[in-house]
Amino acid sequence: ETSKSSSSVEKKYELPDGQVITMGAERFRCPEVLFQPSMIGMESAGIHETTYNSIMKCDVDIRKDLYGNIVLSGGSTMFPGIADSMSKEITALAPSSMKI
């Protein structure tokens, strides 16, 4: 059963030189650091907390618009599931009446 679950996590990638590498669970750790910097020893907030804190520092009248217009950009946002993770984490922090 363990081999079944590990093989479903593994993915093969072909590098530009033709070499094929297999990556397992480590391919999920890189994007997870964006949400949990403590995984690599950094004492800072994750991107969801930083976004939340930034919105909370703004005028209360525009917070609804800010929650509804969060845009992810840059190379790190290309990881599969980043948008879903960000939405889930922000939804957990934001008031329940806010549409994310």
35, pLDDT greater than 80: yes
Query: Mean pLDDT lowest for which of 5-19, 34-48, 66-80?
Result: 5-19
Whether residue 80 lies inside any domain: the answer is yes
Whether residue 69 lies inside any domain: the answer is yes
Distance CA 1, CA 6 (A): 9
Residue 31 structural domain: 2-93
Whether residue 98 lies inside any domain: the answer is no
CATH of the domain at 68: 3.30.420
Domain count of the chain?
1
Is residue 8 very low, low, confident or very high in pLDDT (cuts 50, 70, 90)?
confident
Is residue 28 very low, low, confident or very high in pLDDT (cuts 50, 70, 90)?
confident
Whether residue 100 lies inside any domain: the answer is no
List, in sequence order, every beta strand (DSSP E) within the chain. 11-14, 20-23
* Percent share of the chain, pLDDT over 70: 93
- The amino acid sitting at 62 is I
